[in-house]
Structure formats: C-alpha cells, structure tokens
C-alpha cells in the first residue's frame, strides 16, 4: 500500500522539486520510503512519484519506481496483487527472471508479457501507472471494484495524477475551479460521484477502467476492462441452497486467505455483524495462530457494537483488542477530515473508522475490513424500505398518490421526511425512488442553498447505465457501481491510510461478485431476510442466538454533538463572516437554516452537518 503521484507535461515546465513536493504530501500513505523518476522525452517530461508503505519484500529490492531490465518500462503501484506468486511461476516458465520477491516486479513483467491483458490475471486491489517508452504511452489503471483511488487532471497540455487530490495542489498548473455539479452531488448524497471530483477538469478514474495517454498526439482514451454488469447480465445459476453455501465458503476461504499474505502483522476489523464475524471465523479456522481482531466502542449504547464483537471474538478464540472512545476523542478527529479526504465528504462514519485505524495501527500494519457484503448480498435496511414503498405504490391509484403528494407539499412546517414521502408517492422508477431515500437536500432545497443554478436533478446513476435486473439485483448493481466505491471505499481508504495502515477488502475479491451476481435472488434476499446466504454460512461457524441483533451502522450521534460539544466549532466555521468568503452557498439561506436548527424549529441534522463539513473543507483548501 502506498501513495503515487506524477505528471506528463507536454509543456516541459514542471520540475523534479514540484514532483517531490507532491510525493511528500502523501507521506502518511507511505512513510517508509520515497523516490521518483524524472524522464525527458522528445514530446514531454514524465514524472512518476512513489511513497512506500512496505508490506511485501521489505528489502530495497521492492523499491519504486521500478524499471524493466532494459529500462523501457517504468511502473509505480498503490496496492497489492495477492496471487502474485502464482503469476510469477507462470512468467518464470516463459523465461522471465526475477530479482525481488515483490508483487510490483510481477506486475511489471506480466505487463511486458501480456500488455494490458495482464489485468485479467490479477486478484487484488491496485492503482497502477505504467510508462512504456516503446509504445510512447502512459497507462493509468484502477482495480475492478475501486478499492484504491486514482485522480487525474487533464488540461492545457498536462496530465497530473495522484492517489489523493492534495498532491495535485503541489503542481503550479493545477487550477482549483469548483465544479458546480460536483457540489450539487455532495449536498444531495454526502459524497461526490465518480468520475467527477470537486474541481473542474479533475476526475476519479472509474473502477475497472484504465486510461491511455498517447504521447505522440496527446490524446487520452478511457477503456473499461471489467464491468460488474456483465455478470448481472448472465442467466441465474441453477443451484440449491446447500451447494450455494458450500461454494460461497470455498470462495470466501480463498479470498480471505489471500488477504493474509504479508511480511508485516495483519489484523481484522471486527464489528460483530455478519460480514466481519464471518471473515474472522473463516480466518481463525484456517490459521494455526490466533488472528488479531480490533473493535472500537462508544459509551452511547445506540452506537456501540463493542460488546457484540467481544462475544464473537471470545467464541472464536481470536486475540481481541478493543478500545472505548470518548466523545471528545471522536470530536477531535473532525477538524482533520478535510485534510485527509481532500474534497467535501459527509459520511460521519469516517470518524469512528479513523479512530479504529489509529487503534489498530498500534499493533498491525495491515487491517482487513469486511466491506461489500451489503452491496453483494442485499444487506441494507433501505432494501426493506424500498420493498414496502413498492407495495404501497402498486396498491394505490396514481391520482390518489398525486393528490396526497400535493396535500403534503402544501402543509406548513413540513419536515424533510414528509417532503421525501410526498416526492416518493409520485415516483415510478425504482432507482429514482432509491435515489430519493438517499438524498439529504431535495431539488427545491438546493435551489435555495446554492448560488449556482446548475443542478443535477437526476438519479444517482445519471448515466442510465443500470439495466432492469429485477427489484433486488438492480439495486445491488447500482450500489456496487456507485455507493460502494464513492462512499464506503473512499471512507476506508482515507481513514486507514491517514495513519499508514493498509486496508484490505476480502469480500471484494472479484470472484465473489462475479459468482454472486448470478445467484437466484432468493438466496440473497429471501422473504425480507437480508443477506440470507451470508447468514446461512455464518451460522456454520457461530450460533444463531449469538448473531441475532438489529443491524447497526458504524455511526456517531453527530446531531447531538452539533448542538452540544461541537456547537462552538460549528459556529466558528459557519457564520456570516466565513460565508462571505466563499461563493458557493447562499449566505442568507444558510444563516436562516442554522438559526432554525439551533433553536429547535427544524431537526434536519444531515443538512447542517453537510454544510459544516463543506465549510471546514473550504477553509482547508480554498481560503
């Protein structure tokens, strides 16, 4: 796990010192080593920078940037290829000779042997940049589900790239111009959907894609090499429940064991929910020594999972570690969020994830997180809500729903929840309905909140790329393509890397989703029972009674904090003076909203929280 940054400058003005500064801004991602390659060609200057977090082959032989034997190919990687040993054997049989025991050298020689076709062989998480002097091309590559980030800026004869946006700020030609639609996305959902970023001309490379920059004509071409929809498009597998449980166990065992490959200590984030408990259970069964598990607890029982996790760890016999965090410790994280997340990011669970990462880093350098189960096997409460909404919509005539919506919309003092209900009554499309449930500001709110009127009033999958796969599979496909990489994986990557901790995602092994996408729906969501197959497999390892508890999100009581201990920081951050220094938000509207919130006239915690986070970000990066 590392941080990468660099450029291809056709104007030949960027210096090595600026490249070094960009690399150093990512020191938290790679505290162990740093270097860069500065290459002058007839057409451009190329800079490839790397910050290393040593995980595999801790010797200098794993140093990056790494050059091919003939110096014609240069590579930098952020991530891990878990099956690199098997690929290495294949390459050795073809005559390749290796100098190191690193996965980076395997990727380099796999590219030389197979070109970009090598990507189909990799099991792992990665953002890769390759310069091929013979082809006069540079490749930017991102892994299938989007575990590892890669931003790029392309304008005025220059391509900049980096693991995090902060590195781009170190290049003088990077322009910090706000993307109005990105701002709209942030206030609607609490995060910015790829490929957009908060800045114009700055993009997130989409998961399962690579970008090819041709040095000869300065053209940039995007190619999709993997698409989860290809597997939802296939016919459902004819399989019974017992066989499905056995196949899932086989897949999980392989995926989980691959993520234990490391030359440094490894741990597991354990919440006590189904996904993390299954992860810990299978790993403990297949490892002779006790695995390390980590949990963070809160004194507020509504948000505390520590007791559940402790019971699971005791039953499995793991080396369990738990830490109870105070409210003050959690709140002290908040001012640092804009630095580590780089663009406005409103998921409040970033706070406990950062705290958990700090705690785990005291003992391990790699931590396994069980993200992806909800998006693969239908675990979100929202799926229950949508099922109920769908039943109501099917029973009521449209004219009844339309009149009810008009009545609700004209009620004085109507809350956000009531306005959502009014909008939902007349919504006929599944993904648009799901989109409304996830929205924090409706279109009418955004028209008042934002000074720009460039609104994006379309569903989250506004590129209309999700076909109709039936009720549950359509939702799963959309969440896997959008919500998971742009919110969940962004949250975990920045939180773990903020302390130089490598976060691995075993459930996001592509072999699992490729199989699960083809499963009969009732093995995922059966009579309202979410994550049915995951639960059946987990019950092979843990008693049903031990697992019976309501699903909990990894959240915090930020609404109480905003009116309590966080209130001084809120007022210091969002006030008439600070609002006058920015040109995005409507000052009068925000001040009115703040006053009504703090005096108890309205209770929309999310709206105030998102404004608060946005203004913290503005102070960090735009002042």
Contact 218, 469 (CB under 8 A): no
Q: Which of 2, 118, 252, 325 is catalytic?
A: 2
Task: Give catalytic status of residue 23 as yes or no.
Answer: no
Please tell me the distance from the alpha carbon of residue 413 to that of residue 506, in angstroms, as a whole number: 47
Q: Which two tokens mark 537?
A: 């497999």
Please tell me the distance from the alpha carbon of residue 27 to that of residue 556, in angstroms, as a whole number: 29
The count of other CB atoms within 10 Å of the CB of residue 216 is 10
The count of other CB atoms within 10 Å of the CB of residue 151 is 26
Q: Which of 61, 39, 65, 40 is nearest to 51 (CA)?
A: 65
Pairing verdict, β 66-67 and 502-504: unpaired
Contact 335, 572 (CB under 8 A): no
Task: Please report which residue ranges of 293-336 form alpha helices under DSSP H.
Answer: 306-316, 327-333
Contact 161, 140 (CB under 8 A): yes
The count of other CB atoms within 10 Å of the CB of residue 55 is 23
- What dihedral do alpha carbons 135, 121, 83, 368 form, nearest 10°? 100
Q: Which of 7, 55, 60, 57 is nearest to 30 (CA)?
A: 55
SS3 of 132, please?
Answer: strand
Contact 113, 94 (CB under 8 A): yes
Please tell me the distance from the alpha carbon of residue 213 to that of residue 113, in angstroms, as a whole number: 20
Residue 416: C-alpha distances to residues 59, 77, 170, 196 (Å): 56, 44, 41, 27
Contact 138, 130 (CB under 8 A): yes
Contact 278, 370 (CB under 8 A): yes
Catalytic residues: 2
């Amino acid at each position: 796990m590392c941080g990468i940054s660099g450029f291809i400058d056709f104007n030949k003005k960027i210096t090595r010192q600026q490249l070094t500064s960009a690399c150093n801004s990512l020191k938290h991602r790679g505290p162990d080593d740093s270097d860069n390659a500065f290459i002058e060609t007839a057409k451009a200057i190329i800079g490839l920078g790397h910050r290393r977090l040593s995980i595999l082959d801790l010797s200098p032989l794993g140093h990056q940037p790494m050059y091919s034997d003939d110096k014609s190919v240069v590579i930098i990687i952020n991530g891990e290829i878990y099956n690199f040993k098997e690929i290495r054997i294949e390459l050795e049989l073809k005559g390749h000779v290796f100098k190191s025991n690193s996965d980076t050298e395997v990727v380099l020689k796999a590219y030389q042997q197979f070109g970009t076709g090598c990507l189909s062989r990799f099991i792992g998480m990665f953002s890769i940049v390759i310069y091929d002097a013979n082809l006069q091309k540079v490749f930017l590559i991102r892994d299938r589900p989007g575990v590892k980030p890669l931003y790029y800026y392309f304008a005025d004869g220059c391509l900049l790239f980096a693991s995090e946006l902060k590195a781009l700020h170190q290049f003088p030609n990077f322009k910090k111009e706000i993307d109005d639609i990105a701002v709209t996305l942030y206030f609607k959902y609490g995060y910015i959907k790829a490929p957009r970023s908060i800045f114009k001309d700055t993009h997130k490379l989409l998961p399962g894609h690579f970008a090819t920059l041709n040095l000869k004509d300065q053209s940039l071409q995007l190619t999709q090499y993997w698409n989860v929809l290809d597997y939802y498009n296939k016919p459902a597998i004819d399989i019974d429940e017992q066989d499905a449980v056995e196949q899932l166990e086989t897949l999980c065992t392989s995926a989980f064991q691959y993520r234990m490959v490391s030359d440094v200590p490894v741990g597991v984030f354990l919440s006590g929910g189904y996904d993390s408990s299954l992860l810990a259970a299978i790993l403990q069964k297949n490892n002779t020594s006790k695995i390390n598990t980590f949990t963070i607890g809160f004194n507020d029982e509504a948000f505390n999972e520590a007791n559940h996790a402790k019971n699971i760890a005791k039953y499995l016999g793991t080396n369990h570690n738990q830490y109870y965090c105070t409210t003050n410790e959690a709140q002290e994280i908040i001012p640092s969020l804009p630095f580590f997340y780089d663009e406005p990011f409103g998921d409040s669970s970033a706070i406990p994830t950062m705290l958990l990462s700090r705690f785990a880093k005291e003992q391990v350098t790699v931590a396994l997180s069980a993200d992806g189960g909800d998006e693969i096997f239908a675990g979100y409460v929202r799926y229950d809500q949508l099922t109920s909404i769908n039943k109501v919509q099917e029973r009521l005539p449209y004219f009844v729903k339309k009149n009810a919506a008009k009545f609700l919309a004209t009620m004085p003092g109507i809350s956000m929840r009531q306005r959502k209900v009014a909008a939902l009554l007349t919504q006929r499309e599944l993904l648009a309905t799901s989109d409304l449930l996830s929205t924090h500001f409706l279109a009418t709110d955004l028209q008042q909140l934002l000074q720009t009127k460039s609104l994006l009033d379309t569903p989250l999958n506004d590129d209309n790329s999700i076909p109709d796969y039936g009720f549950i599979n359509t939702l799963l496909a959309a969440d896997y393509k959008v919500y998971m990489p742009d919110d969940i994986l962004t949250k975990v990557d920045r939180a773990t890397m903020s302390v130089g901790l490598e976060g691995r995602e075993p459930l996001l092994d592509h072999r699992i989703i490729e199989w699960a996408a083809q499963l009969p729906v009732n093995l995922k969501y059966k009579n309202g029972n979410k994550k049915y197959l995951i639960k059946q497999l987990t019950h092979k390892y843990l008693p049903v009674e031990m697992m019976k508890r309501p699903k909990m999100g990894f959240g915090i009581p930020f609404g109480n904090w905003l009116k309590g201990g966080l209130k001084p920081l809120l007022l210091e951050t969002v006030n008439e003076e600070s609002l006058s220094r920015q040109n995005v938000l409507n000052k009068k509207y925000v001040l009115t909203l703040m006053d009504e919130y703090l005096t108890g006239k309205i209770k929309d915690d999310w709206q105030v929280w998102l404004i608060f986070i946005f203004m913290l970000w503005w102070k960090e990066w735009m002042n």
